[in-house]
Amino acid sequence: MKTIGIIGGGQLGLMIAEQARELGVRTVCLDPAADAPAFRVCDDRIVAAYGDAAALEELCRRSDAVTYEFENVPGDILIPLCEKYNIPQGYKPLYDSQDRLREKSNARAHGLRTPGFEAVDDEASLREAVRRLGLPAVLKTRTLGYDGHGQRVLKTESDIAGALPLLAVPCILEEFVPFDSEASIVMVSDGERVVSFPVGRNVHRDGILDLCIVPAEVDSGVLGRMKAQSERFMRDCGYRGILAIEYFIKGDETYFNEMAPRPHNSGHYTIEGATTNQFRELVRYLVGEPLQEPQPVAPAVMKNILGQDLEAAEKIAAENFPGVYVHLYGKTESRPKRKMGHITFVGMDAARFEAEWAGRFVK
């Protein structure tokens, strides 16, 4: 029986481990928190900091293949491990995604349209970038920001002064795209072929994904180009394993926003909403099994459950309504804006969700 090592024991590690178990694959997980969600499912555990070189080495020794469930794995430790052990995705997609300037430059170099962007390191370079790109614009830290953290929208010149504290670290200023919608695609590649899941339209609230609606209510020609260009990008970059790309859509144009070389929040609907799911295909890739081309089962809406939604989600779970699949991650501390679970409504569209279900959750 093969064993997959997972760096990170959050909800993504949990769902990787669940799908691995269904495929007869063992998992061992490393996480600094003794109560990490994935520990409830994986076969073995290592409680240690992500920067603990000895612990990561032990994880690799116990595993036939190793993956990661979040982007910010320390590169100075992971790169040498990639040379000694079987980390099939390698370090390159992780490296390319860890710095927004590098990420955007790489996307543009490989043929994807991006918003205009400029590197920003101090007030003078920020003001020069504003002069070049115009306002409104979005100032973001180059590393470590997620779910709306580490960024600020600049609407007028007077907003610049309030944004200066962000410049304690290197930043990037991005042109603000007045998009019609946001969408994402999740792909898995074994180096020979790329399989991709149906594109979802994403609705964010306070910088955090709230809903993913599948299929995306976007022109079919736009969706077709998005799929083709994303798969080409993955091949051209030589990425293997799993990759998610988020786009802004404005009219007939798509703009690369960001990518993640791991299972993606917007892909959680695939567990019940498609014939195979993002976690299962990642496991297949890691253990060398042939990939399966996913097909949609039915229209679906995935609702993120944050701390403020947990009580409502628990009540919905108890109702056991057909076609409603409640996933609670088992985190021991619930707080507002923390991802505590998700619900997938299969056979559901956005209008019906809004009419029948949206009122159950905190606005």
pLDDT tens track for 226-236: 999 999 999 99
pLDDT for 241 beyond 60: yes
148 pLDDT band (50/70/90 cuts)?
A: low
pLDDT at position 147 is: 57
Instruction: State pLDDT tens for residues 37-64.
Output: 999 999 999 999 999 999 999 999 999 9
According to CATH, what is the number of the domain 116-175?
Answer: 3.30.1490.20
Q: 309: closest CA among 236, 209, 223?
A: 209
Q: Where in the chain is the domain with CATH 3.30.1490.20?
A: 116-175
**Angle at CA 19, nearest 5°, toward 76 and 83?**
25
Domain(s) labelled CATH 3.30.470.20 in the chain stretch across 181-360
How confident is the prediction for the chain on average, in pLDDT?
Answer: 96
Cα dist from 149 to 140, 141, 145, 211, 304, whole Å? 9, 9, 5, 19, 18
pLDDT of residue 75: 78
Is the pLDDT at 146 greater than 70? The verdict is no
Alpha helices by DSSP H, listed for the chain, are: 11-22, 53-61, 75-84, 92-97, 100-109, 123-133, 159-163, 220-237, 270-273, 278-287, 310-319, 350-356
Q: Which residue in the block uniquely carries the two structure tokens 């990787």? A: 16
In the chain, CATH 3.40.50.20 covers 3-87
Pairing assessment for the beta strands 181-189 and 137-141 based on DSSP bridges: unpaired
**Alpha-carbon dihedral sign for residues 222, 223, 228, 229:** positive
| Alpha carbons 359 and 340: distance in angstroms, whole number | 19
**Count of alpha carbons within 13 Å of 198, Cβ hemisphere only?**
27
Q: Give the CATH fold of the 181-360 domain.
A: D-amino Acid Aminotransferase; Chain A, domain 1 (3.30.470)
Q: What is the CATH number of domain 3-87?
A: 3.40.50.20
Q: Per-residue pLDDT averaged across 296-315, rounded? A: 98
The whole-angstrom separation of Cα 294 and Cα 200 is: 14
* 269-286 burial code (b ≥16 CB/10 A, e <16): bbbbbbebbbbbbbbbbb
* Number of helical H runs and strand E runs in the chain: 12, 17
pLDDT digits (tens, 9 = 90+) for 96-138: 999 999 999 999 999 999 999 999 999 999 999 999 999 999 9
Given a contact cutoff of 8 angstroms between Cβ atoms, the answer to whether 267 and 278 are in contact is yes
Q: For 219, list phi and psi in degrees, rounded to 5.
A: -50, 135
pLDDT, mean of residues 177-205: 97
- Model confidence band, residue 76 (pLDDT cutoffs 50, 70, 90): confident
